[in-house]
Chain A
Amino acid sequence: MTVDRGSLARTLAFIALLLFATAPLLMLVATSLARGWFYPALSPTTIDTSAWRELFTDAGRRDALVNSVVLGVCTALVATMVALPLGRAAALSTRAVRRSVALLAFAAVALPPVALGIGLQLTVLTLGLGGSLFGVFLAHLVPTLGYLTLVFLGVFTRWDGRLEESAATLGANGFTRWRLVLLPLLRRPIVDAMALGFLVSWAQVALTLLVGGGAVRTLPLDVLAMLQAGQDQRAAAGALALAIPALLVLGASRVAARNTSAVVA
């Protein structure tokens, strides 16, 4: 009897979980394919893929998509190249240094983007980069670098340095050790870090809004603009498009969850 009640509770919990987790995603899918889905119809009557095609064919929307991809790729590459040596140097150092670096990195992640954005906006304006893609890239770099430093700090804190030592004993210099030992061993964490870096930039709203000053349109800003214009179908297609690369690199978020104890934006 107890077993039955237990399994009934589990089944009910499973159904609740299923509805809770999937309903919002299904709403996005349905809305993105629905033209004129009027109240109180429960499902769209006509299927229409125009909102999806527009993402690539409409000049304004395509520009937003391209901007987002360019920003994401550049941010991921540069942040990985910088965070890797930083995380390694910190991990090999004393506990106090490690904690200070982790604190700074987490602060870069945790600062409210609006507050950080106002400060960075003035900095970027001073540099003459206000409203430019490059200025937005610099702004995206700040939280991304924070996330990736935490990732590499985690990776190198658990690192086994014996292979490197053997290579050094066999006469390999610093460059050779990086090329032949470290980088091949680090391929997986590097790919994960780049994916995570891409996602942090890809999902950014406040920093783009403030530093780009409305002149730099990215996919998240485009989606918000569509929503505010009452274009639910276009907003839903854009929102799903935002989720697609993230779904593809789900593994990276899992790595992030393990290593950074910080939230994937």
Chain B
Amino acid sequence: MNTTSSFVRTRAVPLLLAGALLGAPIAVGVGYLVAGALGLVGNTTPGGLSRVLADGAVLRSAVLSLWIASVGTLLATGGALAVALLFGGDRRLDGVARRIATLPLPVPTVAAAIAVLLLLSQSGWLSRVATRLTLVSGPSEFPALVYDPFAISVITAVVWKELPFLLLLALSLLSLRGASLKDAARTLGATRWQVLRRVTLPMLLRGMWPSIIAVFVFVLGSLELPLVLAPSAPLALPMLIQERRQALDMASHGEAYVIALLATVLALLAAVAHEWRRDDA
């Protein structure tokens, strides 16, 4: 009796709660996507999957989205590590640098995208500076950093917005475990460079992995970043889903469900990876 009630309290209750509150909306949402992909709901025709897999535009969109998410996450991680290692100490400049670096943290993604647009577009501020310095003679000569095939402005916005988040994490890891590990390694005769390469960096990366995955997934699924900054050919995946969904023919609607389902599977795989890499759960 006692074991049953404690089983109910400690396992069944949280699982049921989580299932009902978190699992159900996800299941319903994904269920509708599956039904839509099969042509059962939402004004669609079946056969979307084979069309999507054969569609070069979908592949190009996926490549663009993965490019943005990978390069953006990589640069944000590198930047966060660099700032944490350069300004992680307790000198006067360090505290100021850390505060400045985390300024963009709470800025919503839409606002970040617009800010980067105003800075990097061909009539933006950098272009004005270039004109003043007579490096270019007008907006059209300024290199296209916005709506460009390499999505430079999207990646800039990603780094601007996500570097602070990863930096805070790196700093808290450094303050928790950095000093003692470093001292131990130095005592054992390691040089400064050896400590960095074999102790500090691996420790930081191990602690940051789940968040790096989180950033990657978030950027991959973001609609507002490509909406404001990305090229229209190819479209980033979330934009492609929107475009197909708003098209007038039923075949495109079906494809929107299939692409959304593929994006969902990618995100769910990342969620599993995220939990896998977390050692504190």
A interface with B by C-beta (< 8 Å) = 10-11, 13-14, 17-18, 20-25, 27-28, 31, 39-42, 82, 85-86, 89-90, 92-95, 97-116, 118-120, 122-123, 141-142, 145-146, 149, 157, 199, 202-203, 205-206, 209, 220, 223-224, 227, 232, 235-236, 239-240, 242-243, 246-247, 249-250, 253-254, 257-258, 261-265
Q: Give the residues in chain A near B260, CB-CB below 8 Å.
A: 112, 114-115, 118-119
**Interface residues of B toward A: which range?**
35 or more
Cross-chain contact A39 with B274 (CB below 8 angstroms): no
Cross-chain contact A220 with B275 (CB below 8 angstroms): no
Q: Does B129 contact A (CB under 8 A)?
A: yes
Q: Give the residues in chain A near B256, CB-CB below 8 Å.
A: 118
Nearest-Cβ distance from residue A89 to partner chain B, whole angstroms: 4
A9 and chain B: residue at smallest CB distance? B86
Cross-chain contact A247 with B110 (CB below 8 angstroms): no
- The majority secondary structure among interface residues of chain B is helix
Total A-B residue contacts, Cβ distance less than 8 Å: 299
**CA of A156 to CA of B163, assembled, Å:** 28
Q: Does B264 contact A (CB under 8 A)?
A: yes
**CA of A35 to CA of B218, assembled, Å:** 35
Contacts known (A89-B13, A265-B109); A110 close to B218, Cβ less than 8 A: yes
Q: List 14 A-B contacts (CB under 8 A).
A: A25-B104, A39-B139, A94-B11, A97-B11, A97-B15, A105-B22, A112-B263, A205-B227, A209-B223, A220-B108, A224-B227, A243-B108, A261-B274, A263-B215
Nearest-Cβ distance from residue B269 to partner chain A, whole angstroms: 10
Cross-chain contact A122 with B169 (CB below 8 angstroms): no
Q: Does B206 contact A (CB under 8 A)?
A: no
Cross-chain contact B111 with A240 (CB below 8 angstroms): yes
Nearest-Cβ distance from residue A198 to partner chain B, whole angstroms: 11
- The majority secondary structure among interface residues of chain A is helix
Cross-chain contact B15 with A203 (CB below 8 angstroms): no
- A-B contact sample (9 more), CB < 8 A, given A17-B97, A93-B11, A261-B210: A13-B83, A24-B112, A86-B21, A93-B15, A104-B23, A106-B275, A112-B263, A113-B223, A120-B28
Q: Give the residues in chain A near B86, CB-CB below 8 Å.
A: 10, 13
Cross-chain contact A243 with B100 (CB below 8 angstroms): no
A232 and chain B: residue at smallest CB distance? B118
Contacts known (A242-B111, A258-B172); A21 close to B221, Cβ less than 8 A: no
**CA of A193 to CA of B164, assembled, Å:** 20
- Chain A proximity mask over B120-145: 1 for CB below 8 Å, otherwise 0: 00011101110110000011000000
The list of the 9 closest CB pairs from A to B, nearest first, reads A119-B29, A112-B221, A246-B106, A24-B115, A203-B108, A89-B14, A239-B111, A115-B260, A119-B32
Q: Give the residues in chain A near B81, CB-CB below 8 Å.
A: none
Which chain B residues in 238-265 approach chain A with CB under 8 Å? 238, 241-242, 245, 256-257, 260-261, 263-264
Q: Give the residues in chain A near B242, CB-CB below 8 Å.
A: 114
Cross-chain contact A257 with B165 (CB below 8 angstroms): yes
**CA of A101 to CA of B63, assembled, Å:** 32
Q: Give the residues in chain A near B82, CB-CB below 8 Å.
A: 13
Q: Give the residues in chain B near A246, CB-CB below 8 Å.
A: 106-108
Cross-chain contact B270 with A110 (CB below 8 angstroms): yes
Nearest-Cβ distance from residue B18 to partner chain A, whole angstroms: 4
